[in-house]
Amino acid sequence: MLTRRDFLKFVVGGAVGTLFSPLPWRMADEMVLFSQTWTYQPPKGKEKWVYTLCQLCPGGCGLKVRKIDDRVVKIEGNQLNPVNRGGLCPLGASSVQLLYGEHRRVKKPLKRVGERGEGKWEEIEWSTALNILTQKLQELRINGHGYTVACLDGYRNELVSGLIRRFCQAYGTPNYLTMPSGDETTSLVINALQGHEGHVGFDLENSDYILSFGSGLLEGWGAPVRMQIAYRYIYENPFKPKAKIIQIESRMSDTATRVDEWVGINPGTETALALGIAHVLIKQGIYNQEFINNYTAGFDSFKKLVLEQYKLERVSKITGVSKEDIIRIAKEFGQAKRPIAIWGRGKGDIPCGLYEIMAIHSLNALIGNINRKGGVICFNDPSETWWPEFGLDEIAKKTLSEPRIDTSKFPLITSLLYRFAENVNSQAHYKINALLIFEANPCYAAPDPALFIQALKNIPFVVTFTSFLDETAKYADLVLPAAFFLEKWEGITTPRGLQYPIFGVSKPVLKSPYDVKHPADVILTLAKNIKGIAQAMPWRNYKEVLKAAVKKLYQKGEGKLADKEYLVSLNLDGSSLPGSFEAMWEILNKCIWFNPNVKKEGFKTASGKFEFSPKELNLSHYEEWELKGEKEEFPLMLIPSERLMLTDGYLGNAPYMVKALPNTVLIKNDLVVEINPATAAKYHLIEGDKVLLKTPFGEAKVRVHISELVLQDVIAIPIGLGHNAYDEYLEGKGINAHQLLGYAKEKLTGIATWALSRANLIKI
């Protein structure tokens, strides 16, 4: 009989026997190997490097993309690019997550089922989608209603914008809109004051005194990486910087803490300060008399206005800057060798007032730095002027004469998105029958997005070309997947604020894993299928358009190719153009064309001089922004704050970027706003408290961070969070600052900005 003891002896014998056999070591070995394969290990493959250009902001950075087999694994900066010189910004570095994020990419054309805003779609084929679109556009055109089609262009420095404009003209609609930014107003001002539509660049690297009216030099203004390199160049020796930078804004941004001086002004009063500085310059005679006498007109009326109406008493009261500071800064500015005044709040996407830009640019005229080293450089961008002529058919000629839907009382201003929404809502003008949105997200980023969403109710057919399932896709009838920048051909034109023209060809790095098309190719297809506009688009596909543009560029014969390794020492060497167009096209696949010695565009006004007081506009003057809401109910001011780690608008923050946000921006899902300690004391708030932030446009729960870097009674809110679309890494985090900021209007011109708004805090 087997007893329990025997059984135990057997088991113990087995255990000891096991120890004398290789079993334990083998099992340990196997477990180790098993644990090493616990997590997903990416497969190895052949490595390849491809060059391309980034299109995530108007910065024009060159990229080096590392591919393993046909997978993109890393984005790095291309050293063969004089704009970014091998550097990157956080948004560019996280492009891989934007490219491959399956929960946010649009994979196939979608048709809406259910109500607008529900976010329910059914997948359809491209042929079906294109049929629907073509039919609708054809129908509207034939019935003479072509002008009721509006196009919203979300691109900034890409060649496809020109194609969309061309399509609108050939189709016959005057309603070509752009997402609001400082760029349109800048073009208008330059056109009025200097008489041309050329590109405006700022030669900051060679300046020795920079007066920055709220420009976030390190937060992404202009071309972000170029500004970082310029910053390093200027502060190479922090004891002896090459330029003195004065940062004028209501909140001491990172830029302000790192430059020479911060001037805190009341929100929205930049115009007054600029005219105050002009007052000191003129009164004390420290302006460039030679430039004023020889190259400007209308100075006398400007002088009279500034000396009479902008005395320092008044300016100091409006802006909150002391008289001594204004005099000192004006003197330094006027006596510097190569001073420059720049504008464009934050990243440059927040619109400025027309008279604001006029006032600041007048400072540039006063010290005579236009088209001089270290100053404002104006030139014609060849990538904008190469488009060949085309004829309009009868239908187009007729419908183009209709007025724009977003007209303001001010004849020169175009593309006012909030006005578009207002007019469509009120139905005072004609009805808009179709809206085509190209890689923009107005349902999130328009001034007062709720107003825009309401306007969409009156537009029966909304189509959006987008790479991501953003807020606008939720409200569209047809969502057409646009290729991400790594998946398509594109021509990159001069970045914002760069002082010389560039042109780059960004080629597709990989074949898209999804069923996408380049919106430009869709436009070319539409042109073929809609009667009457084929003559405007004689190209078979977008690559042909690019080749034609490069050919024109090559034939001009100017400029050089940027094929040297660029360092932070700002050299601008390059090679001359090659012997044949084919060779140029080949080389452009790796580096860009640029022209640092571009011919500067002189003054082309009727008088041939810089006009201080152009006929179409009045003299620059300060007027308070038209703000919604009453001061009694909303005693505080709300201003936006920007940073490189937060991107606004059409591109949602990549997961890595949301991860990198500090606890002074986001805590769990709560957005954090900054307030001054005095304001906190007034409202009995301590660090981290939850409050209800109320503005005339909406209200939301936020938390507070107490910081001395914000002016008293001003609240700074980060822009870029608060999405209710994209994927689980971004959805529901924070609140949409655009909704709370709404818009403020410039009285005379009707230009809307979200730079400031009235607000109130209620402790909860």
- Which of 33/428 has CB closer to other proteins? 33
Q: Is 1 in the site for other proteins (CB under 8 A)?
A: yes
The three-state (H, E, C) secondary structure of 272-328, written as one string? HHHHHHHHHHHHCCCCCHHHHHHHEECHHHHHHHHHHHCCHHHHHHHHCCCHHHHHH
DSSP symbols for 19-35: HTSSHHHHHHHHHHHHH
Q: Is 428 in the site for other proteins (CB under 8 A)?
A: no
User: What CA–CA distances, in Å, run from 720 to 134, 523, 729?
Assistant: 35, 30, 14
Q: Which amino acid is present at 144? A: G
Which stretch, 90-98, 167-175, 179-187, 471-479, contacts other proteins (CB under 8 A)?
90-98
Alpha helices by DSSP H, 37-94: 90-93
Query: Which listed residue (120, 457, 659, 747) binds other proteins by CB under 8 A?
Result: 659
Q: Is 235 in the site for other proteins (CB under 8 A)?
A: yes
Give 666's strand partners.
671
Q: Is 604 in the site for other proteins (CB under 8 A)?
A: no
| Least separation in angstroms between CB 678 and other proteins | 12
Query: Which listed residue (655, 683, 699, 724) binds other proteins by CB under 8 A?
Result: 655
| Least separation in angstroms between CB 296 and other proteins | 34
- Contact track, other proteins, 726-745, x by CB under 8 A: -xxx----------------
Give 245's strand partners.
210
- Which of 208/261 has CB closer to other proteins? 261
Distance CA 385, CA 763 (A): 56
Q: Is 12 in the site for other proteins (CB under 8 A)?
A: yes
Residues 134 to 163 in contact with other proteins, rule: CB under 8 A: none
| Least separation in angstroms between CB 222 and other proteins | 13
Query: Which listed residue (28, 55, 75, 694) binds other proteins by CB under 8 A?
Result: 75
Query: Which listed residue (258, 323, 543, 628) binds other proteins by CB under 8 A?
Result: 258
Q: Is 86 in the site for other proteins (CB under 8 A)?
A: yes
Q: Is 9 in the site for other proteins (CB under 8 A)?
A: yes
Residues 263 to 302 in contact with other proteins, rule: CB under 8 A: 263-264
Q: 3-class DSSP state for residue 147?
A: helix
Give residues with Cβ within 8 angstroms of 586, minimum separation 6.
none
Burial of 630 (0-12, 13-18, 19+ CB in 10 A): exposed
- Which of 34/308 has CB closer to other proteins? 34
Residues 323 to 342 in contact with other proteins, rule: CB under 8 A: none
Residues 36 to 55 in contact with other proteins, rule: CB under 8 A: 36-45, 47
Q: Is 722 left (phi over 0), alpha (psi -120 to 50) or beta?
A: left
Torsion of CA 190, 191, 194, 199, to 10 degrees: 60
Residues 55 to 74 in contact with other proteins, rule: CB under 8 A: 68, 71-74
Residue 147 and residue 175 in contact, taking contact as beta carbons nearer than 8 Å? yes
Residue 241 and residue 204 in contact, taking contact as beta carbons nearer than 8 Å? no
Query: Which listed residue (77, 442, 495, 640) binds other proteins by CB under 8 A?
Result: 77
Q: Is 493 in the site for other proteins (CB under 8 A)?
A: no
- The token pair at 196 is 């041309």
CA angle, 753 as apex, 421 and 281 as ends, to 5°?
150
| Least separation in angstroms between CB 15 and other proteins | 7
- The token pair at 710 is 């914000």
Q: Is 238 in the site for other proteins (CB under 8 A)?
A: yes
| Least separation in angstroms between CB 700 and other proteins | 18
Which stretch, 11-19, 170-178, 495-503, 580-588, contacts other proteins (CB under 8 A)?
11-19
Residue 547 and residue 156 in contact, taking contact as beta carbons nearer than 8 Å? no
Query: Which listed residue (33, 428, 686, 764) binds other proteins by CB under 8 A?
Result: 33
Q: Is 23 in the site for other proteins (CB under 8 A)?
A: yes
Distance CA 683, CA 394 (A): 65
Query: Which listed residue (134, 585, 667, 683) binds other proteins by CB under 8 A?
Result: 667
Residue 451 CA, distance from chain mean position: 21
Distance CA 235, CA 245 (A): 10
- Which of 450/667 has CB closer to other proteins? 667
- Which of 251/404 has CB closer to other proteins? 251
Residues 189 to 218 in contact with other proteins, rule: CB under 8 A: 218
- Could you tell me the sign of the dihedral formed by the alpha carbons of 204, 153, 94, 453, in that order? positive
Q: Is 99 in the site for other proteins (CB under 8 A)?
A: yes
Q: Is 6 in the site for other proteins (CB under 8 A)?
A: yes
Return the number of other C-beta atoms located less than 10 Å from residue 655's C-beta: 17
Residues 550 to 569 in contact with other proteins, rule: CB under 8 A: 568
- Contact track, other proteins, 625-644, x by CB under 8 A: -------------------x
Q: Is 4 in the site for other proteins (CB under 8 A)?
A: no
